[in-house]
């Protein structure tokens, strides 16, 4: 390790890997990227079907859990976060979803983040991916991230899609394309049958550059402040404390849980919180660790009356066959992320774009510790996409090795519980469609006697859990409730940016890995002083229009939208 670099990136997760690649690309700048976990050398990381094993592996996982969630029966909710090169992109379920176009338009129009409309973000999504669908108005064909279409052939997937049509919940060929709503076979970050994490896509191809250095097993303690300028970082590595200087910038990319913790440990954050732990206030910022958001999910399971589900894959002979096929051909069940179908749907008539997300799997998996128990059935889970409840990340101590205190305050706003009750009813409406008759056995979770709103609410409080999408704890904006500006510079400081899912001002309506990589690619252009990519005004179909338009009977066509009733 040198003592000084042009850029220091703290965190080799989804954002950090993109930044390391882009900032070192020209060879002009020296870049150090610091990761708390190991290299992604475990084979199961790269086998897509190994996801159920790796996401609970303590050797590559921070294994966070929330504080007691008051409105979830005082339960602590497990919160896995990747502690490995690639971050959570190395342990997640690999679903590739960008969020809805209207999410970004609202950032731009309602929150004043000019330049963050979907038209501004779309070229970065496209430049970042190589989609099996090929390059078109919505998709990219020559980027570093491999994106594959679902491949498992199973009649229950067909039943799922048919039920979407007959229930009125709709269908889509591509939820990241022209019709971002309805039920669909999903895309995943899989390339040639292997997980295509941010490390595989962006970082590893760049590590041969002499101006890029990766340090693993390094625990960040704090960033270093001299007056109002951040000059470097301090971290523990191989039993020593290292202080490394940054000639240009330090970029904090530790994720929505760890990034606010590092800021507070550095004396940047709410004064009352810092004083509580004896940390000198270097730069007071009340918004650090506030506005935390997540997607709360419910999941329902049914027995399957036909042996077409994947409940036998854990038997020794089947595991051997699946493993050999994957090792030799990179095909078959081993090359699947299992959650190959899903959807974006409307839970009620009041929302102007989908507020619920499905993930569907032809399997029922339960855990006993880390052991997976499979049964013959299928699982349909639903996320509430735009929660009104907001939480906090605070400190438990001034020791960097101690976990932060995470409170999402799930269901603290009644709006969220109402939407999850609607989600439950939509799930059951879908599975009761004729297309499922040949496969649908008894509902096993919740049991069939859960019917009334009161029963459903009690079941939600007792069983709902995270879909692993923490975000927004260092939000972008230009007011006292924000931490960074629209170019992700920390307000009031020089030489420091935060670039990861924590900067989202509002959580997007979908999975977070693709948006986080897009955000990092945009940040790289800001950092390097490059002109942003030209906006691209793609067309989209929306089932519903704004309330005002519905009431007036008018339909407005914006330059980058096709709105159809």
DSSP secondary structure letters along 72-87: GTTBPPEE--B-STTG
d(CA 344, CA 357): 5
Helix (H) or strand (E) holding 368: strand 364-368
What helix, strand, coil percent values describe the chain, rounded to 5? 30, 25, 45
Contacts of residue 407, Cβ cutoff 8 Å, sequence gap at least 6? 66, 67, 69, 292, 391, 392, 394
User: Omega into 446 within 30° of 0, i.e. cis?
Assistant: yes
CA triplet 225, 521, 483: central angle to 5 degrees? Answer: 40
Q: How far apart are CA 426 and CA 284, in angstroms?
A: 45
Strands (E) in 18-109, as ranges, are: 31-34, 64-65, 78-79
Q: Is 387 exposed, middle or buried (0-12, 13-18, 19+ CB in 10 A)?
A: buried
Q: Do the strands 4-10 and 392-394 form a parallel or antiparallel pair, or are they unpaired? A: unpaired
Contacts of 133 (CB under 8 A, 6+ apart): 139, 149, 174, 177
| CA angle (504 as vertex; 498, 508 as ends), nearest 5 | 150
List helix spans (H) across 168-270.
198, 255-265
Helix 14-24 / helix 513-528 crossing angle, nearest 10 deg: 30
Q: Decide if 217 is catalytic.
A: no
The catalytic position among 283, 469, 491, 541 is 469
Q: Which residues are catalytic?
A: 469
């Amino acid at each position: 390790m040198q003592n000084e670099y042009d850029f220091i990136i703290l965190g080799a997760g989804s954002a950090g890997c993109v930044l390391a690649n882009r900032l070192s690309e020209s060879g002009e700048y020296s870049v150090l990227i610091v990761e708390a976990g190991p290299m992604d050398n475990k084979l199961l990381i790269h086998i897509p079907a190994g996801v159920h094993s790796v996401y609970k592996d303590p050797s590559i996982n921070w294994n966070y859990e929330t504080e007691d969630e008051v409105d979830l029966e005082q339960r602590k909710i497990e919160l896995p976060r990747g502690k490995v090169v690639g971050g959570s992109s190395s342990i997640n379920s690999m679903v590739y979803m960008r969020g809805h176009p209207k999410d970004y338009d609202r950032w731009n129009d309602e929150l004043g983040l000019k330049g963050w409309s979907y038209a501004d973000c779309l070229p970065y999504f496209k430049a970042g991916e190589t989609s099996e669908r090929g390059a078109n108005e919505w998709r990219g064909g020559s980027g570093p991230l491999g994106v594959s279409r679902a491949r498992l052939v199973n009649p229950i997937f067909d039943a799922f899609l048919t039920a979407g049509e007959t229930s009125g919940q709709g269908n889509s060929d591509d939820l990241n394309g022209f019709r971002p709503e309805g039920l669909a076979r999903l895309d995943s970050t899989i390339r040639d049958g292997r997980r295509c994490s941010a490390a595989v896509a962006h970082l590893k191809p760049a590590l041969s550059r002499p101006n890029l250095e990766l340090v693993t097993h390094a625990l960040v303690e704090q960033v270093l402040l001299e007056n109002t300028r951040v000059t470097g970082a301090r971290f523990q590595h191989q039993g020593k404390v290292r202080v490394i200087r940054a000639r240009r910038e330090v970029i904090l990319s530790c994720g929505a849980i760890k990034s606010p913790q590092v800021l507070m440990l550095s004396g940047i954050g709410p004064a009352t919180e810092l004083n509580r732990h004896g940390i000198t206030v270097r730069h007071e910022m009340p918004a650090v660790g506030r506005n935390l958001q997540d997607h709360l999910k419910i999941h329902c399971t049914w027995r399957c009356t036909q042996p077409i589900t994947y409940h036998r894959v854990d038997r020794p002979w089947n595991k051997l066959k699946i493993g050999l096929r994957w090792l030799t051909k990179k095909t078959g069940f081993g090359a699947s992320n299992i959650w190959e179908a899903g959807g974006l749907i409307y839970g009620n008539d009041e929302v102007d774009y989908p507020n619920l997300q499905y993930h569907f799997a032809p399997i029922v998996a339960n855990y006993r510790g880390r052991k997976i128990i499979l049964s013959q059935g299928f699982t349909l889970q639903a996320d509430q996409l735009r929660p009104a409840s907001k939480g906090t990340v605070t400190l438990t101590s001034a020791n960097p090795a101690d976990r932060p205190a995470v409170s999402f305050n799930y269901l603290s706003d009644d709006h969220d519980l109402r939407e999850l009750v609607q989600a439950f009813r939509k799930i059951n409406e879908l599975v009761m469609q004729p297309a499922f008759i040949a496969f649908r056995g008894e509902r096993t979770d919740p049991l069939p006697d859960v019917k009334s709103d009161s029963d459903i609410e009690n079941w939600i409080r007792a069983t709902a859990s995270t879909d692993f999408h923490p975000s927004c704890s260092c939000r972008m904006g230009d007011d006292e409730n924000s931490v960074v500006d629209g170019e992700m510079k920390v307000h009031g400081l020089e030489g420091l940016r935060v670039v990861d899912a924590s900067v989202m001002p509002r959580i997007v309506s979908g999975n977070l890995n693709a948006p986080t990589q897009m955000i990092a690619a945009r940040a790289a252009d800001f950092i390097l002083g490059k002109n942003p990519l030209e906006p691209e005004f793609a067309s989209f179909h929306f089932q519903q229009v704004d309330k005002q338009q519905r009431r007036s009977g008018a339909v407005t066509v914006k330059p980058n939208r096709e709105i159809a009733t």
